[in-house]
Amino acid sequence: MDKILGTINGMEFTVGDTLLELSYLIAALLFVVGLKLLSHPETARRGNMWAASGMGLAMITTLLLHKDANGAGISLTNVWIILCAIGVGAAIGWIVARKVKMTAMPQLVSLYNATGGGASMLVALLEYPAAVAGNIGSLLVTVLGLIIGAIAFSGSLIAFGKLDGRVGDIMKPFMTYLNLVLLIATLAMGVYIVISPNPPSEMLWAIYALTALSLVYGVMFVMPIGGADMPVVISLLNSFTGIAAAMAGFIYNNQAMILGGILVGAAGMILTLLMCKAMNRSLLNVIIGAFGGGGATGDKDQGVMKEITLSDASVLLSYSQQVVIVPGYGLAAAQAQHVCRELDELLSSKGVNVRYAIHPVAGRMPGHMNVLLAEADVPYGQLVEMESINPDMPGTDVTVVIGANDVVNPAALTDPSSPIAGMPIIKAHESKNIIVMKRGRGKGYAGIENELFFDDKTRLLFGNAKDSLQSLVNEIKSL
């Protein structure tokens, strides 16, 4: 028999309850430690383990010690069902994580966001009758969990489709107003459900209508946002998923879910704001501005792009002292990170100081380039953030831009009419020589010409990044 320690507000408090709450506190501390370690590439793997340990502890103690309002624990049958579900999910996650390519990591993150939001949405739907029978507070968090979870679910699926090239941008002038109407209708339906005195059986139509409205709004919310804003969108949707998980925690009065959701939601929102700062734009502008959707204007005749031969590029790099590599999504798309690392090592063996300039929004998700280069065993000390590398650019002999575009476009600094005006960039144009590797003469995700490509100091090496880098490595070896 579980020993009763005392009562709180008329409810008995047992040893099992105490141990369960203590485990949740320890789990929350492990989440915080893990989150802190995740802030640096060198400790990120360890941070993942700490956070996973916290979640594992919370899951185990919940299965063993949780009791319902009647004092009954989880039945053995339900424990086995839960364990089987966890096993299946863990197996699928393990297989997917092992097989996913680094280029598809943003898509995987979007799918993870979708599953979290979808789970919170289902929890809210299932617990709605009990929430109505409770107080106004429980009903409010249930409705909020449903709305936020549904938006995170459908929005993340659309983000996945856009990142994977399966869904295009749909940007029409009326969409901003349509989304505003959808948002107002969704919130109005939520308020109606919360304040309605009708019993659950008479409100099922409303809860299903709210679910449908939230799902449609999630789709319409992400659909107009252009590819250049995907890092911000992913961070924002991640924040939504965390908030939805916290709402589910309130529904079940589960401290671990509440604290974990709050941490994820807060971290996602902080990262979202940092991404916006890196682009010198407000979050509202990202959501309604449709930046990067191909409709940018203001292009002008820049001049002629000048090419460079492999021989000239190899000589220029081999006899330099300072080389900076600016990676972009083109590097990831070509899966050229390992060849890039080979070029880096080859130049380093010749006494060249090689570093990588990392822009906060390079790639398709926050930290995409860091993760990509870490897979190729690039030392973390060689990865230099934009603010730290920019002062050194005037003394750089050669800057090699691989698959990056908008994050090195000087128009952000020189053209007030440009859609990217004011966005902080890596100042590749200040280096002594620039070599740009790109597949063709097309524009970047922002849909505008890059002034850097027409600079007198810039030479372009056209072709697939992996093939170009491999040819360049072979050419340098033959010198």
Which are the catalytic amino acids? 406
For tokens 């003469």, name the residue.
441
Quote the strand ranges of 394-467, DSSP E: 398-402, 433-438, 458-462
To which residue do tokens 């989880």 refer? Answer: 74
Phi, psi (deg, nearest 5) at residue 217? -65, -40
Question: Buried (b) or exposed (e) across 452-463, using 16+ Cβ within 10 A?
Answer: bbbbebbbbbeb
Q: Is 6 helix (H, G, I), strand (E, B) or coil?
A: strand
Which of 403, 347, 349, 339 has its CA nearest to residue 376?
339
Q: How many CB atoms lie within 10 A of CB 60?
A: 12
Handedness of CA 66, 72, 76, 78 (dihedral sign): negative
33 vs 51: CA distance, rounded Å: 7
Provide the strand spans (E) within 306-397.
322-327, 353-358, 383-385
φ, ψ for residue 471, nearest 5 deg = -65, -40
CB 70 within 8 A of CB 302: no
Q: Which residue has the tokens 């990202």?
A: 286
Q: Please give the structure tokens belonging to residue 358.
A: 């990392």
Neighbours of 19 (CB within 10 A): 14
Tokens of 318: 């081999």
Q: Which residues contact 188 (CB under 8 A, 6 or more apart)?
A: none
> Are 240 and 112 in contact, with CB atoms under 8 Å apart?
no
41-65 helix and 15-37 helix, angle to the nearest 10 degrees: 170
Token reading at 222: 């992400």
Query: What are the start-end ranges of the H helices in 198-229?
Result: 204-222
What contacts 99, CB < 8 A, 6 or more positions away?
none
Q: Looking at residue 3, what DSSP letter applies?
A: P
Question: Which residues contact residue 204 at a Cβ distance below 8 angstroms, ignoring those fewer than 6 apart?
Answer: none
